[in-house]
Structures are given as C-alpha cells and as structure tokens.
Chain A
Amino acid sequence: MIPLNFEYYRPETLADTVDIFDKLDAEGKQPMYYGGGTEIISMGRMSNLTTGALIDLKEIADCKVLEYQQEQLVIGSSVTLTQIHETNLFPLLSQAGARIADHTIQNKITLGGNLCGTIIYKETVLPLLLSDSQVFIAGPGGQRTVPINSVFKERMQLGKGEFVAQIKVDKKYVSCPYVHVKQTKQDKITYPLVSICTMAVSGGIRAAFSGVCGFPFRSIAMEEELNDRSRSMEQRIDKAIDLTPGPILADLEGSMEYRKFIIKGLLNSIINQLEE
C-alpha cells in the first residue's frame, strides 16, 4: 500500500507532457515523471516519496521508439529492458539490462527510469557512455540533444521539468567487440559488487564501471592507463585503479580492498579477451 495520495496523468505527446508539468508545478504539486514505476512505487510504499502528481511517459510516441533511423539506433526512454533484450539491436546494452533485477521486473523497468533513478548503479548507462550516445531531452525550455558524456556526470543532469525522451546510438558502435561482467557478492539477482562494460573501439579499450564508486562512470584517464601497452598488464591495471573518479565503495556488498581485488582480476581477464 502506498499511503501518499497523488494524481496521475498520461500524456501522449512531448508538448502535452511539458504543458501538464508546467501546470502541475504552478499548482505546487511537485510533479514527477513516471517510467516503469519500479522505483517510485517502492519508495512510495516506504513513504520516501514527496509528490502530488505523476506524469506517466509510457504513451508518448517519441518515448516508445525502438528502431534505426538512418545511421542511428534510437531508443525511446519508455522502452523496457525486456524490449531491449528481445530485439537485441545493441547486444552490450541488452546484456547489461538483462542482469538488472529479475526477468519479470525487466518487463517493467524503462531505460529512462534506470538512467534517471536514485539508485547508485544505473547499469544501463555504462554501454551508453562507451558508445558516445546522444540524449534527446525535452522540457519547459524546449528540446535539446546532447552527448551523454557531457550530461551524465554521476547522474543525469536535468533542469527543472526536463525529461529524457530518447537515446541515440551511432550504428558503428553497436557491433564493436565487447565484454560485460557483473560480479555479485553471492546471488545472481542482486546489486553489483562490481559491474564492468568494455568495448574495443579502433584498437583501444573503453571501460565503464558501476558498483565501484558511489555513481556509475567512464573515465578517459583510466582508459589511457589501460591502453598503455608499454607497461605490463599488472601495471596498466594498477595505474588505472588509482585513478577512479571517487573513493572505491566499502559497504555490505564488499570492502574496498575486496572490490579492488575483484576489479583487478576482472580487468585482467577482460583485456586479455579483447586484445586476443
């Protein structure tokens, strides 16, 4: 049971969505966008939610797209992890999504909701960072398309009333060689101890991480160290791990030392596979 009361709106166009947000905001209802609702309902049940109105994005035509448009794969923000997996148009994203929660919940979690939620893992962002994806954002100030590597800094940096409508991925990236590994403490279906997505692009390795720091990230500085073949494999990995953009997590999933140990082992095996 969710004790809080809120209103529910389901617009069908981007323009109507922005208009209803503005109206509800002006009425002081602190509207929230609603994707799959898996996080919003869980937080609502625990009374960790403050909103007077939800705006469901699932019937907006632009947010339901999942197709190639010219040389870009366009994925609407309301597309579910299952749809991404079943169509398998971007295999690395399919695999990363298929390890989030369980199969039934993947029928509900949307790409936009995973990217914009409060959970620190947001594992679907990893393939998008590696493939220099573009994010199509709509909001009261109009529409903009920006590189994910500039708008995702620890979390999606959205202005008031803005929402993610689509993700666009250049076709050239979807078929690059890749390795995805999600290591958990014990069960298969749980939060990551460490989740790593890697991609070989033009002879170099790109790597993005979740579960390592308090936010998911891709680090160019770490990639430079990982790609420095003048050093031994051990040195490459050690130098890269020294450059994580924040402190390595120490929590119930694992201590900092244990995480470092796991990351080293995983990176060693991943690099060997990609450099074969």
Chain B
Amino acid sequence: MFQLTGEGLIELNVNGETRKALVRPADTLLFALRERLGLTGAKPGCENGDCGACTVLVDGWPIKSCLMLAVEAVGREIQTVEGLNGAPIQKAFVDKFAFQCGYCTSGFIMNCQGLINIHPDASDEVMQEWLQSNICRCTSYQEITEAIKSVLITENT
C-alpha cells in the first residue's frame, strides 16, 4: 500500500521526467510544483477551486492543482505549461492577443490543451462548458475563445 506518514521524498512524473520532491502529505500539488520543483507556470489565485489559475493536466485531464494533494499525484502523469514547448494553443494565444496581464493564461492554456487532447471535435457548447472553469480578471474571454476555436478548427481540417 502506498503511504506517506510524514515529510518525505516522493516521485512525481512531470512533463515526462521523474522528479523527486520533498513534501508533507498535506502539501498541495500546486505547492509542490511551484515551491519544490520550480515550475511556477501554475499560478496560485483563490486556492479554493474557483479561479482555475492553477490548472495542470493530470493523466491528460485538467485538474485544479490547488485541490489535489502532491502525494495523490504519485503514479500519475502531470503536465504543466512548461511542458507544452510551443504547442499550437500557445501560439494561438499570442496570435489572438488572448491575454492582458497574463496571470490566468497558463491555467486557461492547460484547460484548452486538455480539451484539444480529449475532444478535438468539441462543439461550441462543450467548449463554453470547459472554459467556464477559468476566470480572467482582465476579461480576455472573447480572444481566448477565438484562440481555442482556431486550434480546434485546425485539428478538424
């Protein structure tokens, strides 16, 4: 049985690499990524599951890393924005000016990447449903929608 009874080293599979992180069982994945692995792409916002700034992919699905324990992620595949390496959705965000301050951007991008992976044929309704998980304080919603749509259209042609 996997267990962690106090502060200890765990192995996390992040962006295709096995990384060791010293965590307490009570540490969130968001904390471990940022403070232990130096992956600061996932942002702390509300830390309450509301804003989506901390979104990463776990086994391909968008997950709010503030609502996941780091220990819980042992044995799962984690992808952060640092692991995208110039994916089409990143270029689309630039082309469509889909950000202003940029604080929400990595969370939005990871959510969009999850949708592109899982439902490349997503309808507008499904796309809206997924995008509602993230909040942009600068209200770049129109441009973000255009960015994801441009990638989904390319995927489907």
Nearest A-chain residue to B30, judged by Cβ: A1
Let me know if A102 is at the binding interface, CB within 8 A: yes
Cβ-neighbour of B6 out of A7, A12, A44, A104 (below 8 A): A7
Whole-angstrom distance between the alpha carbons of A192 and B55 in the complex? 25
Q: How many residues of B contact A (CB 8 A)?
A: 33
Contacts of B64 in A (CB 8 A): 104-105, 108
Contacts of A50 in B (CB 8 A): none
- Minimal beta-carbon separation of A192 from chain B (angstroms): 16
Whole-angstrom distance between the alpha carbons of A238 and B112 in the complex? 46
Contacts of A88 in B (CB 8 A): none
CB-based contact B132/A37 at 8 Å? no
Question: Which label, helix, strand, loop or mixed, suits the secondary structure of the B interface?
Answer: mixed
Let me know if A256 is at the binding interface, CB within 8 A: no
CB-based contact B67/A38 at 8 Å? yes
Contacts of A2 in B (CB 8 A): 26-28
CB-based contact B26/A16 at 8 Å? no
Whole-angstrom distance between the alpha carbons of A36 and B64 in the complex? 12
Whole-angstrom distance between the alpha carbons of A175 and B24 in the complex? 46
Whole-angstrom distance between the alpha carbons of A102 and B63 in the complex? 11
Near B by CB (< 8 A), chain A positions 102-123 give 102-105, 107-108
Contacts of A54 in B (CB 8 A): 25
A7-B3, A11-B1, A41-B69 in contact; A105/B133 too (CB < 8 A)? yes
Q: How many residues of A contact B (CB 8 A)?
A: 36
Let me know if B41 is at the binding interface, CB within 8 A: no
Nearest B-chain residue to A8, judged by Cβ: B25
CB-based contact A103/B3 at 8 Å? no
CB-based contact A107/B61 at 8 Å? yes
Contacts of B61 in A (CB 8 A): 82, 107
CB-based contact B49/A103 at 8 Å? no
CB-based contact B69/A104 at 8 Å? no
Contacts of B132 in A (CB 8 A): 102-103, 188-189
A38-B49, A105-B49, A107-B61 in contact; A10/B26 too (CB < 8 A)? no
Let me know if A232 is at the binding interface, CB within 8 A: no
Contacts of B134 in A (CB 8 A): 104
A103-B130, A104-B62 in contact; A42/B48 too (CB < 8 A)? yes
Let me know if B94 is at the binding interface, CB within 8 A: no
Cβ-neighbour of B62 out of A9, A58, A107 (below 8 A): A107
CB-based contact A105/B4 at 8 Å? no
Proximity bits, B28-53, A CB within 8 Å = 1, else 0? 10010000000000000001110010
A6-B26, A41-B69 in contact; A108/B3 too (CB < 8 A)? no
Let me know if B90 is at the binding interface, CB within 8 A: no
Contacts of A12 in B (CB 8 A): 1
Near B by CB (< 8 A), chain A positions 1-44 give 1-12, 16, 20, 36-38, 41-42, 44
Let me know if A56 is at the binding interface, CB within 8 A: yes
Let me know if A144 is at the binding interface, CB within 8 A: no
Contacts of B71 in A (CB 8 A): 8
Contacts of B63 in A (CB 8 A): 104, 107-108
CB-based contact B25/A6 at 8 Å? yes
Cβ-neighbour of A5 out of B25, B52, B129, B133 (below 8 A): B25
Cβ-neighbour of B129 out of A41, A58, A59, A103 (below 8 A): A103
Whole-angstrom distance between the alpha carbons of A36 and B2 in the complex? 17
5 A-B pairs, CB-CB below 8 angstroms? Answer: A1-B28, A7-B6, A16-B1, A37-B69, A102-B52
- Which 6 pairs, one residue from A and one from B, show the smallest C-beta to C-beta distance? A104-B133, A8-B25, A102-B133, A2-B26, A7-B5, A10-B2
**Could you list which residues of chain A lie within 8 angstroms of chain B, going by C-beta atoms?**
1-12, 16, 20, 36-38, 41-42, 44-45, 54, 56, 58-59, 82, 98, 101-105, 107-108, 188-189
